[in-house]
Structure 1
Amino acid sequence: MKLHNRKSLKQRRKELRNNATPAEVQLWSALKKRQLAGRKFRRQHSIGPYIVDFYCPGERLAVELDGASHDDPLRSEYDAERQTYLEAKDIRVIRFENKQVFEDPDGVLTYIKKQFDE
C-alpha cells in the first residue's frame, strides 16, 4: 500500500493548503523553493493515514505547527499517536507553536536547519 500522498487524502490535503493558518503561510514562504539550505519541502503532505504540515523528503523530517486546538487533551492524544506512527516509519517530527513562527522566525528556521544531516 502506498505510504506517501495517498489518493484518498488528496482532497483533504488540498483543503488544508487552501485554508492554511497565518503561521503556516509565513513558514511556507521561508521553506518553499528550496530556500532553506537547498532542501525541498512539501506542505500538507500525507504519510500513511496522517497529513503533516510540512515534510522534507530528503531529510525524512516532518515539521508541525500547533495552534490553540492542540491544547485539547483529545487532540494531544491524536498528535502523540501520529508522532509514534511517523517515528515508526523513520520520520523525525519537530513541533513549533504558531506564536514561535511570528515571534522568532529566525530561531524556528535555525532549529529546522539543525535537524538536517549535513
Structure 2
Amino acid sequence: MKKRKIIPYDPKLKAYARELRNNSTKAEIYLWLKLKGKQMHGYDFHRQKPIDQFILDFFCYELMLGIEVDGYTHELPEVLSKDEIKERRLNQLGIQVLRFSDAEVKTQMESVLCAIADYIEDYEKGCS
C-alpha cells in the first residue's frame, strides 16, 4: 500500500473554507454537481480544501489535482499575481492546477469536463 504524502495546511483556514462551501458561486455549484460522489472517473474530489496557506476550490488527493474556478476579479493584476504565487506554491507541493473561468463553467461545461477527463487520462497513462 502506497503511503500518503502529508500535505500541510493552516488550521486557521478551516472555518473560512467551511464558509466558502456554504456560500459557493453558481459556477462552483455546477461543477461540484459533476465532481462529487466520484462521478469523475471514480476519483474523490473535495471542495474548498485548505492546503498550505491557500484554499483550492476543488482538490483530488489521488490525482494531486487542484481545480480553480475564477470569477471576474481574477482578471485584476493584483489578483493575477496572487494566483501565480498560489499556483507556484501548489506546484512545489506536487499539485497540478487546472483553471477555468466562471463563464466557461456556466456556458461550456462539456469542455471543462473534457479538460479534466483529459488530465485524468494522462495521469493514468503515466501510472501504468
TM range (shorter): over 0.9
Alpha-carbon separation, structure 2, partners of 1:85 and 1:45: 15
- For the Cα contact (< 8 Å) 1:101–1:108, is it kept in 2? yes
Q: Provide TM-score, normalisation by structure 2.
A: 0.87
Equivalent residue, structure 2, for 1:39: 43
State which of 56, 80, 84 in structure 2 corresponds to 1:80: 84
Alpha-carbon separation, structure 1, partners of 2:38 and 2:58: 13
Q: Residues 56-71 of structure 1 correspond to what in structure 2 (within 5 A)?
A: 56-71=60-75
- For the Cα contact (< 8 Å) 1:4–1:45, is it kept in 2? no
5+ long unaligned stretches in structure 1: none
Q: Provide TM-score, normalisation by structure 1.
A: 0.94
Structure of larger gyration radius = 2
5+ long unaligned stretches in structure 2: 1-5
User: Are 2:116 and 1:115 equivalent residues in the alignment?
Assistant: no
What do you get for the CA RMSD once the two structures are aligned?
Answer: 1.2
4+ aligned runs moved over 4 Å, structure 1 = none
